[in-house]
Amino acid sequence: MGRLDGKVAIVTGSARGTGEIIARLFAAEGAKVIVADILDDRGKAVAEALGDAGVYVHLDITKEEDWSRAVKEATRKFGPPTVLVNNAAILFVAPMSETSAEDLDRLYRVNVRGAFLGMKAVTEPMKSSGGGSIVNISSVSGLEGTANCIAYSASKWAVRGISRAAAMELGVFGIRVNTVCPGPGSQEMGQAFHPGFPSREAYKEARASRGGLARLAPRPGTGQETVAQMILFLASDESYYCHGSDYSVDGGKFAGNVPLQYVVGPAALDPDATAAQNAGLR
């Protein structure tokens, strides 16, 4: 018995990265999966790898007509969708002074409008099925302000907001809505802005350059498999009492602050700076 036996899931942005991992995991656990993306060749390859458990649908998440078609295809092929994972998103990294109003609008259009339209599209099918689970992917940048990510951070805070509001509306119909807040995403998402991301060496170098105390994840990296496992749990009936909540999967980033010398070693730091830092900790 799989943990998602009998479930029909739409996973957006599942042609690559975390979305692909989620789609493959869902299929392995018994779900029928709509692999939804705008990367047709890669999306079709993922769906083919899933065999009878997967179907690819071209889905521009900003378009209502695409959502309507995706839901109809899911219903025609497998039955009404009972799980939605709003995973597709775009990233933009730049100082506020170099972020245009158009940049902000573009991120809201994809990251927020896309999740909003997805929830609207599956509400009636989930009602007809007696309930379901919606998992919206926010970010650790949706839990705090992130320098040079003002548009992205704002959009991911908004994802949490619309998720809470939807949870209050849909819970009465047996539809659970939760948000997962991962740490750094897939390499393909971040490499355009951070070449070499997220190597351990680059991680240490970037943090060490800040001096003083740094808030660090004890487990650097993307943790994509763990993120997928969290989403699997929220999609399954095991999480029947989880509703309207945020789940951070960040390697410990929000657990607290780590003195820098414990990460890179005292020898790697300027002695005077280390002494000053230690004095500040007393």
pLDDT tens for each residue of 146-203: 899 999 999 999 999 999 999 999 999 999 999 999 987 655 554 455 444 444 455 4
> Taking a C-beta distance cutoff of 8 angstroms, is the pair 152, 189 a contact?
no
Alpha-carbon distance of 260 to 213, in angstroms, equals 6
Average per-residue pLDDT for the chain: 86
What class has domain 8-186+222-251?
A: alpha beta
The answer to whether 247 is a known catalytic residue is: no
What share of the chain has pLDDT > 90, as a percent?
Answer: 72
pTM: 0.83
Q: What is the mean pLDDT of residues 92-115?
A: 97
The pLDDT value recorded for residue 19 is 97
The pLDDT value recorded for residue 198 is 47
What share of the chain has pLDDT > 70, as a percent?
Answer: 77
Nearest to 7 by CA among 131, 93, 123: 131
Written as one letter, the residue type at 230 is M
Span 209-225, pLDDT tens digits: 544 334 445 555 557 89
Alpha-carbon distance of 3 to 62, in angstroms, equals 31
Per annotation, catalytic residue among 56, 108, 152, 247 = 152
Q: What is the mean pLDDT of residues 64-68?
A: 98
| Least confident interval from 121-125, 183-187, 275-279 | 275-279
Q: How confident is the model at residue 252 (pLDDT cuts 50, 70, 90)?
A: confident
* Token pair recorded at residue 135: 């998992």
The pLDDT value recorded for residue 223 is 76
Q: How confident is the model at residue 233 (pLDDT cuts 50, 70, 90)?
A: very high
**What does the domain layout of the chain look like in residue ranges?**
8-186+222-251, 196-221+255-282
Span 29-52, pLDDT tens digits: 999 999 999 999 999 999 999 999
pLDDT tops 50 at residue 274: no
Any alpha helices (H) in the chain, and if so which ranges? 17-28, 40-49, 64-77, 101-107, 114-128, 150-170, 187-190, 200-208, 224-235, 261-264, 271-281
Counting every residue, how long is the chain? 282
pLDDT tops 50 at residue 282: no
Cα 115 to chain centroid distance, Å, stands at 11
Which tops the pLDDT comparison, 144 or 218?
A: 144
Q: Which residues contact 268 (CB under 8 A, 6 or more apart)?
A: 208, 261
